[in-house]
Amino acid sequence: MKIGKVYLVGAGPGDPGLLTCRGRDILQNADVVVYDRLIGAELLALCRGDAEQIYVGKAAGRHSMTQDEINEVLSDHALRGSSVCRLKGGDPFVFGRGGEEALHCLKYQIPFEIVPGVTSAVAAPAYAGIPVTHREVATSFAVVTGHTKEGAPANLPKADTLIFLMGIKALPQIVENLLKDGRAETTPAAVIRWGTTTEQQVVTGNLSNIEERIKAAKLTTPALIVVGDVVNLRKQLQWFDDSAQRALWGKTVVVTRAREQASSLVFQLSDLGAKVIQCPTIRIVPLENYDRIQNAIDNIASYNWIIFTSTNGVDAFWEQISERGYDARLLANAKIVAIGPATEAALAKRGLKADLIPATSISESVADEMIQKGAAGKVLLVRALQGREVLQEKLSEAGMQVDLAPCYQTIADNSGAEEVRELLQEGKIDWVTFTSSSTVKNFVDAIGEDIIKATRESFRVACIGPITAKTADENNLSADVIAAGSGTAELAEAICDAVK
């Protein structure tokens, strides 16, 4: 049997956006993913649907597997011909025991690759507004393990900035050794917990009071320690966990949009400081057959207007065009309607400029604007298999012939529902967002009416458009905020305004 390959991939310090492009590509294509305790669900969501996921996490005093057992997992799967992604927090070679795992692969002549990751030793201080070097303050830094086989490290390097990883339990001994080594009690110190994530907590002080302060803040692992004058720069450089700059810091927001469509909203909310929980209530899937869309493409010259209702419609339509050997020139004689700015952008990527971008995404308004624009003749409506019939009906009433061209369909998706259900019951959700009526209905089905009624007072609801808001109202989820426009940017802005 052909031997597989082991990829030792650094996942970065916690923020999923800090995974390298190479790491992402390997994760998306691996047969087996062997992952650590600090790997978040957002990274595991990148795995192939049929990939085997094996948890081998270690916490202080609690190991799901010994290192020898982890090594055997890697070699067993690789020797069966599998592509194995060993996903490790931070960087594989920075106190990550990646060297031991690589040597184990070498023992069995298994090919391996090292994919460096962003180490928390640099990233967590950066997200806390603490540069590990600064020309006027620190010209050197050293990274030290917080615990050795003998306990806290005693032989400390001579560097302006010291970063201790995995040292929170050994902090008293670390402080004692730093004072013995000649550091003053007034030397600034910081402890950063869950650095680079929306759970980030930072406690600052100096060597004389840092222990007392982290006890008062009840900081526990995972955390790292920074010692040196650079800690004082946090007062000026704090950015990530600063609610003045990031209005949604400390807020937890649920995004119910299909995972394929959610990326822009997730990015916008995250950029504003929110902790985003993805609970996709619908999933985009292919049609059982494409006869109607293929027939429309073959007769595209007969259409005067083509309406695209979503980015999914654009993507699926273009896939069918490409498969039939056509390109954008096929649409040269038709006027194009793009519903929403994201749909407009998706068309622009294909070299097409929309002739009409309705002010709202409401079907009634779209029809009115088209009629005012002088629309007539034959219209092709590119959309999902499921959808409101209002647009087709209003255009038909105005004398137009409207052909539906479904090119994808949506189905209910309950992935993420269990986590959201638990968080709702614990009162840990601040906002739930809805972008369509189907997301509302499927959310209620996935979470359960009883839980929604019992927890409704603990969270707020934000909707795109009055139709979605009406559906929310009918399902005991009355909207606290309704976005002015049809885009995700307007939705994020509306939540921000409400929080402010």
Residues 325-372 have pLDDT tens digits of 888 899 988 999 998 888 899 999 998 999 998 887 777 788 888 998
**At residue 387, does pLDDT exceed 80?**
no
Decide: pTM greater than 0.95: no
- 58 versus 188: the higher-pLDDT residue is 188
Q: How far is CA 141 from CA 162, 169, 225, in A?
A: 6, 22, 13
Alpha-carbon span 203 to 234, nearest angstrom: 11
Closest CA to 432 of 486, 478, 489: 478
Given a contact cutoff of 8 angstroms between Cβ atoms, the answer to whether 282 and 261 are in contact is: no
To which CATH superfamily is domain 5-117 assigned?
Tetrapyrrole methylase, N-terminal domain (3.40.1010.10)
Q: Where do runs of H (alpha helix) occur along 282-372?
A: 291-298, 311-323, 341-349, 363-372
How high is the pLDDT of residue 414?
83
Choosing from 25, 58, 160, 445, the catalytic residue is: 58
- 260 versus 232: the higher-pLDDT residue is 232
Specify whether 215 is catalytic.
Answer: no
Under CATH, to which class is 305-319+330-408 assigned? alpha beta
How high is the pLDDT of residue 415?
79
**At residue 22, does pLDDT exceed 60?**
yes
Under CATH, to which class is 122-237 assigned? alpha beta
Q: What percent of the chain has pLDDT over 70?
A: 98
Residues 244-296 have pLDDT tens digits of 889 999 999 999 987 767 788 999 999 999 999 999 888 888 888 889 999 99
**At residue 152, does pLDDT exceed 90?**
no
Cβ neighbours for 68, distance < 8 A, ≥ 6 positions apart: none
Closest CA to 146 of 167, 121, 162, 176: 167
Residue 214: burial class (beta carbons within 10 Å; 0-12, 13-18, 19+) = buried
Residue 106: burial class (beta carbons within 10 Å; 0-12, 13-18, 19+) = exposed
Phi and psi, residue 464, nearest 5°? -95, 115
**At residue 61, does pLDDT exceed 70?**
no
252-281+413-499 has which fold?
Answer: Rossmann fold (3.40.50)
CB count within 10 Å of CB 201 equals: 18
Per CATH, 122-237 and 305-319+330-408 having the same topology is answered no
Cβ neighbours for 333, distance < 8 A, ≥ 6 positions apart: 301
**At residue 219, does pLDDT exceed 90?**
yes
- As a whole number, the mean pLDDT across the chain is 92
Lowest model confidence (mean pLDDT) among 121-125, 165-169, 262-266, 496-500: 262-266
Residues 194-209 have pLDDT tens digits of 999 999 999 999 999 9
**At residue 97, does pLDDT exceed 70?**
yes
Q: What percent of the chain has pLDDT over 90?
A: 69
Specify whether 441 is catalytic.
Answer: no
The model's confidence at residue 17, banded by pLDDT at 50, 70 and 90, is very high
The model's confidence at residue 26, banded by pLDDT at 50, 70 and 90, is very high
Choosing from 5, 15, 31, 36, the catalytic residue is: 36
Given a contact cutoff of 8 angstroms between Cβ atoms, the answer to whether 46 and 27 are in contact is: yes
Cis peptide before 157 (omega within 30 of 0): no
Given a contact cutoff of 8 angstroms between Cβ atoms, the answer to whether 225 and 191 are in contact is: yes
Alpha-carbon span 403 to 330, nearest angstrom: 18
Q: Where are the domains of the chain?
A: 5-117, 122-237, 252-281+413-499, 305-319+330-408
Which residue reads 């916008």 in tokens? 268
